[in-house]
Amino acid sequence: MSNEKYDTAEEREYVQPTTAPKMTASHYIATRIPTLKPAKDKVPNPIALLRLLNLQQWLFFLVAFFAWTWDAFDFFTVSLTVENLAETFGKTKADITWGITLVLMLRSVGSIIFGLAADRYGRKWPFIINNVLFIVLELGTGFCSTYNQFLGVRAMFGIAMGGLYGNAAATALEDCPEAARGIISGMLQQGYAFGYLLATVFTRAFVDTVGHEWRPLFWFGAGPPVLIIIFRLCLPETQAYQERKRIREETPNAAKAFMEEGKVALKQHWMLLIYMVLLMAGFNFMSHGSQDLYPTMLSNQYNFSKNQVTITQVVANLGAMAGGTIVGYCSSIFGRRFSIICMCFLGGAILYPYTFTSTNAVIAAAFFEQFCVQGAWGVIPIHLMELSPGSFRTFVVGTSYQLGNLVSSASSTIEATIGEQFPLPPKGKVKRYKYGLVICIFLGCVYAYVILLTIIGPEYRGKSFDVAADEDMAVVKGDSTDGRQDSEDVEKGRRE
């Protein structure tokens, strides 16, 4: 890539902050729309990009992908068994969705604890501890006998799940070649969709088929993390973390140096951190709003059989995996923000057939809706990594994501509660509701919010993850007197 730097509104790609001139607030605002113009950078074909990764980089990606996949699997086991759990515990479906809400609410606690641990002590052992907790808590869920026990275990599960996302993103992307970041980001994020797909398939395989109602699904969920732990034990720390650790240990007190990095990062990037949380709130509303109550809508409102629901969900998640990978790759060509906004517009256009089609034709709408939702999400891992301060990459990526989850934690409960205000004629003793209407309106508002936040936000595509390029670290070491300028002041690049 060219190292030329320009000061025009048409600038695209991020350059290092030490070379960026001060940008006023009015100038920043004036550049939000012009900088959305697609960069159209030349990027090698996907196969050539994937060949850039060496064996160790591929292993880092795979262990992160499998862990993120199973994290999603564990989460969606509740979403896909809402009716079964409600029957077992004698509660309404809205009551059971509090199990989902508690997980989302407490994830931010886990992201803070495990994120700080991963940035201070390394990616490896916090990752392993996360997966040990998954094993214990999935088994515990399967043995719950009361509603309160169920809520308690899922609340603890939220803490465990919260620590994984930032660690997985850092593990997969820190050492990734810059040119391949977009496509690897898209592939990594689709572990979420793949986990949803696996949860859908195994729910159909285990629930009400092998005895003990829904419980075998959760017992099964405790198995794969054992293999993931063994996989991670065989790998070292990422090279990016090892280099940062080496620099800290050159100081008289590594712990003090870490604290100083935190002070600098907070002082220089506090406004950007708030923006990232607000953006992730919109993304999580988009994801959970389109997915969590959707199986219930199909079965309750449109009387789909269990097989029909399974097929629809599988096809939807195939669309999600395709969307995330393709759009993640395209974000390296057209830009992160432009790619996200395009997917939101397209997703909004497909909302009506996604929520108001009562026949098997909804499968096509489900494929393309989730293509758009997860297409936008495919940009997020690398977008957050590029926006984050280097010393606290795991913490910031994970915590911004999970605080966004906290804000959006009640999405399924909100949809279920509002949906019950629009009753349909019952089917026997089963009460029915217009969940599709609520999902459609809810997602329309969410898409508009995400588009607005993305337009006003920054983009640092091409940012170096090397510690030598980290101005925050330079301030801590005393190599810089100016520090890094505000995040909004460093969005620069090269002319189209």
Query: 306 and 420: one domain?
Result: yes
Could you tell me the pTM of the whole model? 0.81
Domain end position, chosen among 184, 204, 238: 238
- Please check whether residue 8 lies inside any domain of the structure: no
- Measured from the Cβ of residue 456, the count of other Cβ atoms closer than 10 Å reads 15
Domain end position, chosen among 188, 213, 238: 238
The separation between CA 312 and the C-alpha centre of its own chain, rounded to angstroms, equals 22
The domain that holds 68 is classified in CATH as 1.20.1250.20
Query: 203 and 89: one domain?
Result: yes
Query: 230 and 334: one domain?
Result: no
- Give the domain range for residue 402: 254-473
CA distance 367 to 316: 4
Query: 424 and 456: one domain?
Result: yes
| Total of domains in the chain | 2
If you write DSSP's letter for every residue of 138-207 in order, what string do you get?
A: HHHHHT--SHHHHHHHHHHHHHHHHTHHHHHHHHHHTTS-GGGHHHHHHHHHTHHHHHHHHHHHHHHHHT
First to last CA, the chain: 12
- Please check whether residue 107 lies inside any domain of the structure: yes
CA distance 174 to 239: 8
CA distance 122 to 233: 13
Query: 233 and 259: one domain?
Result: no
- Please check whether residue 18 lies inside any domain of the structure: no
- Please check whether residue 34 lies inside any domain of the structure: no
- Please check whether residue 82 lies inside any domain of the structure: yes
Q: Using H for helix, E for strand and C for coil, what is the string for 66-102?
A: HHHHHHHHHHHHHHCCHHHHHHHHCCCHHHHHHHHHH
- What is the per-residue pLDDT for 479? 58
- Please check whether residue 462 lies inside any domain of the structure: yes
Query: 399 and 468: one domain?
Result: yes
Domain end position, chosen among 238, 262, 289: 238
- Please check whether residue 28 lies inside any domain of the structure: no
Query: 195 and 263: one domain?
Result: no
Structure tokens at 358: 């009562």
Query: 226 and 266: one domain?
Result: no
CA distance 60 to 37: 34
- What is the per-residue pLDDT for 53? 94
Query: 198 and 267: one domain?
Result: no
Query: 279 and 219: one domain?
Result: no
Q: Are 328 and 386 in contact (CB under 8 A)?
A: no
Helix axes 380-387 and 164-173, enclosed angle (nearest 10) = 90
Cα dihedral 123/128/129/135 (nearest 10):
150
Query: 223 and 313: one domain?
Result: no
- Please check whether residue 14 lies inside any domain of the structure: no
- What is the per-residue pLDDT for 443? 95
Query: 134 and 89: one domain?
Result: yes
Q: Write out the chain's pLDDT in tens, 496 residues.
A: 333 333 333 334 443 443 344 677 788 888 888 888 887 778 888 999 999 999 999 999 999 999 999 999 998 888 788 888 988 888 887 788 777 778 877 888 999 999 999 988 999 999 999 999 999 999 999 999 898 998 899 889 889 988 998 999 999 999 999 889 999 999 999 898 899 889 988 988 898 788 788 999 999 999 999 999 999 999 999 998 998 888 888 888 777 777 887 788 788 888 888 999 999 999 999 998 898 788 889 988 899 988 898 899 889 989 999 999 999 999 988 989 999 999 999 999 999 999 999 999 999 999 999 999 999 999 999 999 999 887 788 888 988 998 888 888 778 778 888 888 888 888 877 788 888 999 999 999 999 999 999 999 999 888 878 777 777 777 766 654 444 443 344 344 433 3
